[in-house]
Structure 1
Amino acid sequence: MNPWPPSWQPTGTVYGTLLNFRREWDLWCPRMTQDPYKAGPQAPVLYVKTANTFSPAGQDLVLQDGVTEVDIGATLGLVIGTDGQVAGAALLNDWSVPHASYYRPPVKFRCRDGFLALPEQVTAGQVSDWAALQIAVHCNGDLVQTMDLRELVRGLPELLADVGEFMTLQPGDVLMVGTDCLADGTRPRAQAGDRVEISARGFTAVVTTLGGAA
């Protein structure tokens, strides 16, 4: 029996992870030794998706403030249960405004209203259930990306352990494992009128239609 109610929304903090897919890591690796960092990150690079970004299942994404297209950010979110352990997972669409750097992106590109599309349900399970999960991204019915969690720089157990070295995830928190890029380093993009679907076997799909500014 699934313990989460329909129309699920996070009750804690949602954290995203940057540079956690091998292809993007390899693309950025030659520049990691340059100023100002002079080395690659030794711990997971996290950011927060604020509560204003939460978009319930079935809600359209309204493009505002001159934004005409958005990057699709398909990901898996690990949901922390009452015992502090992972109790389930959910597909999410971590939208962002297209920008050049994913090393330390400004908040204004990721934390706009409605920029985290949610599914109706969380899928109960254990981390080991999703180690080889493949996530499909369709735009207007066309397959535009396939993500394989076997390509993570830090697999699910390692990511959780490394985050736990410097912070404690609380019940209700969600840890997104990262979004992958295409071969050229960009992400699939969508614009007003597009219908985007993120799906994976055993999970409730996330489907969003994009609308122009009201």
Structure 2
Amino acid sequence: MKLVRFGPSGSEKPGIVAADGSIRDLSSVVDDISGAVLSPAGLDRLRAIDPTTLPAAPAGARLGSCVPMPYNFLAVGLNYADHAAESGMPIPKEPILFNKAPTSISGPDDDVVLLKDSAKSDWEVELAFVIGTEAFNVPAEKALDHIAGYCICNDVSERFWQIESTGQWVKGKSGPTYGPVGPWLVTGDEIADPQALAMTLDLNGNRMQTGSTETMIFGVVELIAYISRFMKLVPGDIITTGTPPGVGMGMKPPVFLKAGDEMVLTVEGLGQQRQKVVAA
């Protein structure tokens, strides 16, 4: 099952993708793709609906993030060994966690608006997962039970503020529009193995990133068990899991985003994002 949110920013409606690819309006059934809707019982309720009985979303409707602004938008750094190498950093012995401000979240095809004075904004195609039921001190064997589904995240990053300057990752990761999420929330039953998904990112038609979640250092199961040792995760929380090599920072010479660029991101089974880059 593929769930979406469509409509103007701040006024999105919940939707479901029908077998023919059309988006159907779920607003007569649920208020949003959040809370108890993301629980196993809530998702089963939506599975029982024939999407063709629901009204179609307006043609060409904007897609928002596939879940609304969460309590927690967490990310994992250097979670691919080859990306750590291109960044000139050692392979971590345990997951590196940081926050992206929830206000960085935007729709999958919304413009990425460069931060004022940004000189080193970069791209990162990532697999993200969304929590469906509260998770705290979760054993690894129960980890997947707490996932509602998966989606794409572009972990846009301002490298000067992240690594140089005072080197605080949250500063370089949290600008408005620096966290496109979606297009779909694909429920866990449709993803047989989250550690076997191909990933790509193109910049202006040129392939920059090609990877697979199979090369993650810490997989989805391990991440849930690890993160839930330190904090309580609640329905709707988003965890984005790291990026394969091919980011602009790692190129020789480095390449960074500029106004007029276009990014296209794919993760196998999770659809596509397309963002234009615009000046502040």
Shorter-normalised TM range: 0.7 to 0.9
Q: Give the match for residue 151 of structure 2.
A: 90
Following TM superposition, by how much is the alpha carbon of 1:131 offset from its aligned partner in structure 2, in angstroms?
0.9
Greater helix content = 2
Distance of 2:169 and 2:267 partners within structure 1 = 30
Alignment of 1:9 with 2:67, yes or no, is yes
Name the aligned partner's letter for residue 187 of structure 2.
A
Give the structure 2 partner of residue 18 of structure 1. Answer: 77
Specify the structure having the higher radius of gyration (Cα). Answer: 2
1:169-207 per-position Cα deviation (integer Å, ceiling 9, x unaligned): 211111111123339962763211011011122112111
Match of 2:104 in 1: 53
CA contact (8 A) 2:126 2:240 kept: yes
Partner of 2:197: 133
Letter in 2 for 1:9: V
- 1:109 is aligned to 172
- The answer to which of 125-134 and 180-189 deviates more is 180-189
Q: Partners of 1:10 and 1:16 in 2: how far apart?
A: 17
The equivalent of 1:32 in structure 2 is none
Q: Residue 200 in 1 paired to residue 267 in 2?
A: yes
Which residue is equivalent to 1:147?
211
TM-score using structure 1 length: 0.82
Counterpart residue number, 2:21? none
Aligned counterparts of 1:92 and 1:41: Cα–Cα separation in 2:
22
SS at match of 1:210: strand
Q: Are the equivalent residues in 2 in contact too, given 1:16–1:176 (CA < 8 A)?
A: yes
Tell me which amino acid in the other structure corresponds to 1:186. Answer: G
1:153, distance to aligned residue in structure 2 (A): 1.0
User: What does the per-residue CA deviation read over 1:6-51, in whole Å, with 9 as the maximum and x for residues that have no partner?
Assistant: 432344211001121112445422xxxxxxxxxx865422111112
Specify the alignment match of 1:120 in structure 2: 183
* CA displacement 1:49-86 (0-9 Å, x = unmatched): 11221112332112231224521011111111146501
SS of alignment partner, residue 153 of structure 1? coil
Other-structure match for 2:279? 212
Going from structure 1 to structure 2, the CA distance change for 1:204 and 1:98 (only over 3 Å counts) comes to same
Instruction: Note the residue ranges of structure 1 that are not aligned, 5 or more in a row.
Output: 30-39
Distance 1:149 1:198 in 2: 14
> Which AA in structure 2 matches 1:22?
A
2:79 alignment partner AA? N
Indicate yes or no: 2:240 matched with 1:191: no
For residue 95 of structure 2, what is the aligned residue in structure 1? 44
The number of aligned residues is 202
Give unpaired runs (5+ residues) of structure 2. 5-13, 16-63, 136-145
Letter in 2 for 1:87: A
Look up the equivalent residue of 1:174 and give its one-letter code.
I
SS of 1:159's equivalent? helix
| Aligned equivalent of 1:36 | none
Q: Using the alignment, how far apart are the partners of 1:183 and 1:79 within structure 2?
A: 24
The answer (yes or no) to whether the contact 1:71–1:98 under 8 Å persists in 2 is: yes
Most deviating of 187-196 and 142-151 = 187-196
What residue is the counterpart of 2:224 in the other structure?
160
**Which aligned segments of 4 or more residues in structure 1 are displaced greater than 6 angstroms?**
none
Judging changes above 3 Å, is the alpha-carbon distance between structure 1 residues 69 and 211 closer, same or farther for their aligned structure 2 residues?
farther
- Distance verdict in 2 for CA 1:45–1:86, change over 3 Å: same
Query: Could you say which structure has the greater relative contact order, defined with CA pairs below 8 angstroms and 6 or more residues apart?
Result: 1
Q: Aligned with 2:117: secondary structure?
A: coil
Aligned-CA RMSD value? 2.6
TM-score, structure 2 as length reference: 0.64
Check conservation: 1:75, 1:179, Cα contact below 8 A: yes
